Structure 1
């Protein structure tokens, strides 16, 4: 899951090697078409083009140049700007203050190579700057530093096209992440829904239905355990070591999910290849009987992340839990021979951990094709329950459509009374791609408040550990199933 916190920092970051810190720190953006009287001209404003963990990726106008080298922005294409810090359970005000100070004073921290051997401080904890090891980011264009520092390079610029990566990888360090930049255009989220929108109509008429409750209560923990342990590599016979969407196994994962969807009777199942470096999305469609042109989409991502320099990426919670939820929804449709008034799409995305790329590709395509999306919801991290806390279902505080969130909050309270429903600051999963494209969207999360899972983005994100809770996963799945069945107009 790609998430940001509410703590804002405005530091501009050019990704550089540690040796290049001093050389890079004086770089500035200027407008080549304007008098050079100011360091930053208004025409050099930035445009949000994507999100990667605690970085937001911005594009700048082509007239902007880097002052020290006069490299046109059309060649460099994007800057990395530190926008917000990931909020984690246990953070203190001092942690946040330390983060803001370090971002301003040590931008090269984003490019420091480390083998994980970080000295502990006097309290026996890792220094705050190293609580999350960071990697270099590739942006295609390279600039050689002056001869005084010939051994160093600064990596900036574009979206590392697939045909360029072979050359780049020859000189990049082993921990380099080659990350394409999303380019679907300006972020234009939906501001509000019209009064006759199906979401508002459903809100006005929503009531509990025992016939739907009977379906919801069929969510099978044993089946979900089998699915998620197969994806995490914990089940006997599972071939999966990693589910990174840039790995060879990403295609194998997608093929397995496709076979499961096909066995559950999806009318169509598509492997959506959108970029050669990434595994595909897997898109299952149940065609609506009354309003087939109106789409209801339920999503999760099948890719994952592991610990720094660790090849294992099991992703049992992030987002094996969401993937198992998708399979459970499809299984129950087949088991009960269900049909829907609106077309229901179940989509397992790839590339979420690298920047929401799979969902962005699908959202962009659907927008270009003029599709009508009544609702899109995402399930990301659904299974962790902090010891001592109740079962919870949380909705995002931002990057969502309020009317959709309100409806699904009410649906959850109707059909999953065992869950405490609330709000989380965790955000930025695949629903955001649809929200940015102007479609109604929201997400489900496992906890009210910030992320609490200590194995978040860690190779220890396994099923069989403290806190991974199938009662929590079952409640989250029930809430999402009830939500899409209500909006898709399930026929009971």
Structure 2
């Protein structure tokens, strides 16, 4: 997608995050006589950043992951194999959208399910394709070349691969669907026709892989999350669609000491995968 993307939450229905507030007061300044017992502290596995960096490196080694290319096909096979090796049930959602250029794309959304029979589910998503054009005004003679997408595409996928690895090592009861959207970055330059982007999430939103009670309760989209010195303000559409998710995620980040990354500033609107999921699937 276009530049200046951030990590943004998206809501598919209801928020099911652990409460961050302390025991409620009875209004007199004294604790209630019948205080709820303290919640058991759940250990959180350590995120291995070195592992995530290796996953970025492995994606980039295939070259630009542009639909209809050999690198794209090989990377798809590698991604599905990685998820299967971590014990996930893998769904390949094939579709053939027509790009704004008129070219028919051979695309695949990759869905890795953990606890596929669980009704209580969440989605963590990223896009795995890379931009077919550089778009950079810094080098006019190379702006039509495809990019490697280490950050734009690769970083979000790498985090989800590391999450998958951790889910295998530290199983949980909740159902988790890791969704990799394809054909996200095959859009028209200039930003005038946003619908030419995010073709994979548009298709997924119209063809959810689950239904009924298994519809995800909420989701988090990761896109361009690997830049050095990244700062994530509260993106406009995320606040409009999911204010309660934004508030809790940003508060949790501050409580964990990441307030310098997740800043309490208002960001502009970004028409990315989360926008189409919220406007189509809901």
Determine if the TM-score, normalized by the shorter chain, exceeds 0.5: yes
Q: Normalising by structure 2, what TM-score?
A: 0.71
Q: Does 1:258 align with 2:85?
A: no
Q: What residue number does 2:93 align with?
A: 272
**Equivalent of residue 166 in structure 2, options 332, 335, 349:** 332
Q: What residue number does 1:394 align with?
A: 233
Q: What residue number does 2:199 align with?
A: 357
Alpha-carbon displacement from aligned partner over 1:103-141 (angstroms, at most 9, x marks no partner)? xxxxxxxxxxxxxxxxxxxxxxxxxxxxxxxxxxxxxxx
**Equivalent of residue 230 in structure 1, options 50, 58, 77:** 58
Q: What residue number does 1:307 align with?
A: 134
Q: What residue number does 1:172 align with?
A: none
Contact 2:15/2:245, CA 8 A, preserved across alignment: no
Shift of 1:368: 9.1
Alpha-carbon displacement from aligned partner over 1:150-169 (angstroms, at most 9, x marks no partner)? xxxxxxxxxxxxxxxxxxxx
Q: Normalising by structure 1, what TM-score?
A: 0.43
Residues 428 and 404 of structure 1: CA distance in aligned 2, closer, same or farther (over 3 Å): same
- Give the paired residue count: 233
Contact 2:253/2:259, CA 8 A, preserved across alignment: no
Q: What residue number does 2:220 align with?
A: 377
Q: Does 1:211 align with 2:39?
A: no
Shift of 1:210: 5.2
Contact 2:202/2:276, CA 8 A, preserved across alignment: yes
Contact 1:251/1:280, CA 8 A, preserved across alignment: no
| Cα distance in 2 between the residues matched to 1:367 and 1:419 | 36
Alpha-carbon displacement from aligned partner over 1:351-406 (angstroms, at most 9, x marks no partner)? 111211111111111299445220021000011135xxxx6343312254212211
| Cα distance in 1 between the residues matched to 2:22 and 2:77 | 38
Residues 380 and 397 of structure 1: CA distance in aligned 2, closer, same or farther (over 3 Å): same
Q: Does 1:296 align with 2:130?
A: no
Shift of 1:206: 8.2
Ranges in structure 1 where 5+ consecutive residues have no aligned partner: 4-86, 89-188, 234-239, 440-492
Alignment root-mean-square deviation, CA: 3.2
| Equivalent position SS for 1:366 | coil
* Higher RCO structure (Cα 8 Å, ≥6 apart): 2
Max radius of gyration: which structure?
Answer: 1
Residues 413 and 212 of structure 1: CA distance in aligned 2, closer, same or farther (over 3 Å): farther
Q: Does 1:281 align with 2:115?
A: no
Contact 1:392/1:421, CA 8 A, preserved across alignment: yes
